[in-house]
Amino acid sequence: MSEGVLLSELLVPFSYGYMLKAMWVSALVGGVCAFLSAYLMLKGWSLMGDALAHSIVPGVAAAYIFGAPFAVGAFFTGILAAAGMQFVKLNSRLREDAVIGLVFTTLFALGLLMASIWPTSVSVQTIVLGNILAISDEDVVQVAIISAVSLFVMLLLWKDLMVTFFDESHARSIGLNTRALKVVFFTLLSACTVAALQTVGACLVIAMVVTPGATAYLLTDRFGRLIVISVALGVVTSFVGAYISYFLDGATGGVIVTLQTLLFLVAFYFAPKHGVIAARRRQRVATDEVTT
Amino acid sequence: MTALTQIARAPERTTTPGASISLHHLTVTYPNGFTAVRDASFELDPGTICALVGVNGSGKSTIFKSIMGFVQPSSGEVKLCGLPVEDALKKNVVAYVPQSEDVDWNFPVLVETVVMMGRYGHMNFLRMPSRADRYKVDEALERVGMSAYRKRQIGELSGGQKKRIFLARSLAQEGRIILLDEPFTGIDVKTETAIVGLLRELRAAGHLILVSTHNLGSVPEFCDQVVLINRTVLAAGPTAEVFTQGNLERAFGGVLRNFQLGGPALHQDDDARRITVLTDDERPLVFYGDGDSQRSDKSGA
């Protein structure tokens, strides 16, 4: 096979409309989710993303059954999930993790049940694994609106959210409405979870809102840079992941998340300051100093 | 959006009255039915360093939370500079120095970023620092002697340095009321001396400083007012009047270690005076003489 043939082979995905659409939608969603991941993983709330993604499944299923926009359904079940968790937490002695586990699996099961009892245009498999390659134009519009609005709000509020997450007392002392800021953040998180559901499916959404931030966290001590690195990782892995999935004929979500994990592993070992190898080197230097 | 970002926050020094905190019959009951503070009242004026003293669970942090508006009074009210809490916070009058345990030291921020957060209340809603903001940050770092550490991640500092960073943030914020939550826990004597010196300077400049502490030994050294609490205000006023052995025993009950040395253990003669040592940590408080007498010079720890 000559070089020219190989090159044109590699460009094939760009000649299909559905592939182009899949690539840029994935990149957009990946970028916004990565932005949120910078905050989420710092507060030990990573699994909230997972819980949300599973909880909104019945809403998405119901939306397809009744022909409503999926974002609307997801929004209502998201609120239902949050209210349910709060209700169980306040009225029992269960710990938070048990409450979250209880509520989100219940809603997820309900969603799967609905989707299998009332067959619709959306299959159980699509919900669980995502299917960006077959995304409809209306869904693209919804995903694009959600992502654009989220990105805009985050760009306006990123410093206020940083202060709120770092030191809530100080945030209040400079007059920030910390409660409102947290509500805004979790609303965006739910919205982006819905968007990511389309690309990688309910099971892998958690990776989109955790891994890029976690990787960036190992690479920098500055929050601004952390966001930039995280978003870059999210955009590139999602775009490339969608591209590669054409050749592998595999689930896009699986490819995207695998790429993100590979990059995480690179950072985990080779990060200049917080990587495993750097830590070992420091340890060695320290023991050398003691022994000599 | 504007409602969320709270744009208008220019420091209106000329129109607002001097720094003051007033609690007026404050009662706080939590949703689980626990009343942490009942009918607490005290008034503090500008140019004051006041210690808030009480055992764990006495309501110190509830009072702080009420001043910061984290908890709403069930009855009574809190006013800062004559304003309701929410309005006062919007005017950027309160600076808060958190307890070291309450800070996530792994948070990816540099020392200078934390101090710059003190300026956010003075910036527009995008929080773009002006030249004046940068200058104030430099100045604050200089004042606490931490300029050399400005590019460090906050977790890479010692206990005393960590404390100074947050103090620098409150300086940069220029809040006229400064709240310090257990500032002397886990720091060296050198930093403690430096902090006390700085607090005295701030008092001289007219700030009102409220310090919650269980470090009894250092209270008379730098606090001119004391509020003793145990679920309510037991006593409040000038240190000399309030910080007495009798009041402290009332506030602390059996919680403090109480050593008394008197009569034959100290003297060969029949001098009836005795020494009382009250302590719950590394800085004991020493009284010379009988029961409610005034406290004399502190002995070394």
B9 vs A42, A156, A175: nearest CB? A175
CB B203 within 8 A of CB B51: no
Cα separation of B281 and A41, whole Å? 37
Cα separation of A241 and A255, whole Å? 5
Best mutation target among B86, B107, B111 (most A Cβ atoms within 10 Å) is B107
A222 and B CB contact within 8 Å: yes
* Bridge-based pairing state of the strands B35-44 and B21-29: antiparallel
Give φ, ψ of B130 to 5 degrees.
-90, 180
Extract the tokens encoding A292.
Answer: 């000599």
Nearest chain A Cα to B96, which residue?
Answer: A170
For B61-101, what is each residue's pLDDT tens digit? 899 999 999 899 999 999 999 999 999 999 889 999 999 88
Which residue did the predictor score with more confidence, A143 or B215? A143
Nearest chain B Cα to A185, which residue?
Answer: B4
Q: Which residues of B touch A44 (CB under 8 A)?
A: none
Q: What mean pLDDT is predicted for residues B199-220?
A: 90
B94 and A CB contact within 8 Å: yes
The ipTM assigned to this model is 0.87
Where is B23: in which H helix or E strand?
strand B21-29
Best mutation target among A173, A184, A187 (most B Cβ atoms within 10 Å) is A173
User: What is the model's pLDDT at position B13?
Assistant: 42
CB B154 within 8 A of CB B110: yes
Q: Do A172 and B95 touch (CB under 8 A)?
A: no
B4 vs A42, A184, A222: nearest CB? A184
* Bridge-based pairing state of the strands B21-29 and B225-229: unpaired
Question: What is the pLDDT confidence band of residue B300, given thresholds at 50, 70 and 90?
Answer: very low
Residues contacting residue B266 through CB under 8 Å, at least 6 positions apart: B274, B275
Q: Do B4 and A157 touch (CB under 8 A)?
A: yes
B108 vs A167, A169, A222: nearest CB? A222
Q: Kindly tell me if the per-residue pLDDT of B204 is higher than 90.
A: yes
B125 and A CB contact within 8 Å: yes
User: What is the model's pLDDT at position A74?
Assistant: 83
Nearest chain A Cα to B112, which residue?
Answer: A222
pTM: 0.85
Give the A window 28-87 contacts with B, CB below 8 Å. 42
User: What is the model's pLDDT at position A290?
Assistant: 75
User: What is the model's pLDDT at position B12?
Assistant: 41
Q: Kindly tell me if the per-residue pLDDT of B299 is higher than 50.
A: no
Q: Which residues of A touch B169 (CB under 8 A)?
A: 170
* Mean pLDDT lowest among A142-146, B211-215, B244-248, B284-288: B284-288
A274 and B CB contact within 8 Å: no
Q: Which residues of B touch A170 (CB under 8 A)?
A: 96, 98, 117-118, 169
User: What is the model's pLDDT at position A216?
Assistant: 97
CA distance B201 to chain A (A): 22
* Rg, chain A, Cα only: 21
Average model confidence (pLDDT) across chain B:
84
Per-residue pLDDT of chain A (292 residues; tens, 9 = 90+): 567 788 888 888 999 989 999 999 999 999 999 999 999 988 878 877 788 888 888 888 888 888 888 788 887 888 888 888 888 888 888 888 888 889 889 999 998 888 888 876 667 777 778 888 888 888 899 899 999 999 999 999 999 999 999 999 999 999 999 989 988 998 898 888 888 887 788 888 888 999 999 999 999 999 999 999 999 999 999 999 999 999 988 788 899 999 999 999 999 999 999 999 999 998 888 888 777 6
Q: Do B9 and A176 touch (CB under 8 A)?
A: no
**Exposure of A15 in the CB half-sphere (CA atoms within 13 A):** 6
Give the number of A-B residue pairs with CB atoms closer than 8 Å: 89
A91 and B CB contact within 8 Å: no
Q: Which residues of B touch A177 (CB under 8 A)?
A: 3-4, 6
* DSSP single-letter state for residue B278: E
Q: Kindly tell me if the per-residue pLDDT of B11 is higher than 60.
A: no
Q: Kindly tell me if the per-residue pLDDT of B14 is higher than 50.
A: no
CA-to-CA dists, residue A273 to A225, A267, A281, angstroms = 15, 10, 10
Q: Do A167 and B117 touch (CB under 8 A)?
A: yes
Best mutation target among B120, B156, B212 (most A Cβ atoms within 10 Å) is B120
User: What is the model's pLDDT at position A53?
Assistant: 83
User: What is the model's pLDDT at position B297?
Assistant: 44
B161 and A CB contact within 8 Å: no
Residues contacting residue B53 through CB under 8 Å, at least 6 positions apart: B212, B213, B214, B216, B219, B226, B227, B228, B229, B243, B248, B251
Cα separation of B258 and B277, whole Å? 6
Q: Which of these, B27, B86, B32, lies nearest to B59 by C-alpha position?
A: B27
Q: What is the DSSP string of chain A?
A: --HHHHHHHHHGGGGSHHHHHHHHHHHHHHHHHHHHHHHHGGGT-HHHHHHHHHHTHHHHHHHHHHT--HHHHHHHHHHHHHHHHHHHHHTS---HHHHHHHHHHHHHHHHHHHHHHS--SS-HHHHHH--GGG--HHHHHHHHHHHHHHHHHHHHHHHHHHHHHH-HHHHHHTT--HHHHHHHHHHHHHHHHHHHHHHH-TTTHHHHTTHHHHHHHHH-S-HHHHHHHHHHHHHHHHHHHHHHHHHHT--HHHHHHHHHHHHHHHHHHH-TTTSHHHHHHHHHHHHHHHH-
Q: Which residues of A touch B61 (CB under 8 A)?
A: none
Q: What mean pLDDT is predicted for residues B166-188?
A: 91
